[in-house]
Amino acid sequence: MSEDGFHVHGPHDHEMEHAQQGHDGAAHGASHTNSIAMFTAVIATVGAIFSYMGGATQASAGLYKNNAAIKKTEASNQWNFYQAKSSKQNLSELALELAPGSRKDFYDEAIKRYKTEKAEIKVEAEKLEAESKEWDHQSDEQMHQHHRWAQATTALQVAIAMAAIALMTRRKWLEWGMYGMGALGLGIGALALLHV
């Protein structure tokens, strides 16, 4: 300001005043860039967690499916054992009809023993089949979870890609799309967390 109270602003002074008041396009651009960068960092971190959860649920699904196959094999072994006892029982019943009277008690006892053993074997086989079905069910649930985590991760990756394009093009609709896709990814992640 001059001594007589008259002051002339230069172009540089005017721009400095606007920058200090937050009206500068460059300052606004930097703020805009910072908010997108922060969004990208947060979404990338959440996406990494979702990706880990997806991998963990996929590994669990494989383990549970393996357990189901083991139980199914054990059940099959029991049913084969049951069938062998049935064959022995049938042979004993035939022998009972053909054997002399002195051997009939022996075959009659064998038939009773085979019936008892078959009943025990059947209970064990059915128990193993039920365990196999339970492991299969748990595997299916884990695969469903895996797919949810994968969907959430994919949505977050698309949001990050949209953020990069929004930064380069400065298109507002891309920025809104980025936020929308990020929200969608977080929503799907919440469904995965809630086992939906």
Contact 152, 50 (CB under 8 A): yes
Tell me which amino acid residue 113 is: R
Give domain status of residue 65, yes or no.
yes
Give domain status of residue 14, yes or no.
no
Give domain status of residue 175, yes or no.
yes
Give domain status of residue 83, yes or no.
yes
Each residue's pLDDT tens digit, 151-179? 999 999 999 999 999 888 888 898 899 99
What integer pLDDT is reported at residue 20 of this predicted model?
A: 52
What integer pLDDT is reported at residue 76 of this predicted model?
A: 96
What residues make up the domain containing 159?
Answer: 58-193
Question: Would the CA dihedral through 69, 72, 76, 81 be positive or negative?
Answer: positive
Give domain status of residue 170, yes or no.
yes
Of 72-76, 77-81, 192-196, minimum mean pLDDT range: 192-196
**Rounded Cα distance, 68 and 60, in Å:** 12
Contact 152, 189 (CB under 8 A): yes
b/e map 19-51, b = 16+ CB within 10 Å: eeeeebeeeeeeeeeeebeebbeebeebbeebb
Give domain status of residue 167, yes or no.
yes
Give domain status of residue 131, yes or no.
yes
What is the pTM assigned to this prediction? 0.69
Give domain status of residue 70, yes or no.
yes
In the chain, how many domains are there? 1
